[in-house]
Amino acid sequence: MEKSQEELEQLLDALRQGKLKGHEIYRAVQAFGENNFQVARPEVEALLQSDDFELRFVALKVLTGYWHLAEHWETGILLNTGKQPTRSCCMIQKSSAAFGQPLI
């Protein structure tokens, strides 16, 4: 769902101030991704450390699927498997993402 710059900035402020809870956070992060609002990148990256698996997944989906940030492809493999990715695994992930089909 497309949001205005002002709406995205308000969501980011609310996230920074801890005013969003539960699924409100998921929806905000998803909106940042869908609207290519990379101003929120530090906050989205910080969510990769969350104890909430679903929230980590949404953050990773935004970083890799929407924003195509190559440095997070390996992060996705590590978060999903708990192991360092192999070179061939990374190549498959990068190829998949290049064609708009992220594996995560």
List the domain boundaries for the chain: 5-98
d(CA 21, CA 4): 21
pLDDT band of residue 1 (cuts 50, 70, 90) is confident
Q: What is the pLDDT of residue 88?
A: 40
Mean pLDDT over the full length of the chain: 81
CA–CA distance from 16 to each of 65, 70, 96, 98 (Å)? 23, 25, 33, 32
Cβ-based neighbours of 96, under 8 Å, separated by 6 or more:
102, 103
pLDDT tens-digit series, residues 18-62: 999 999 999 999 999 999 999 999 999 999 999 998 999 899 999
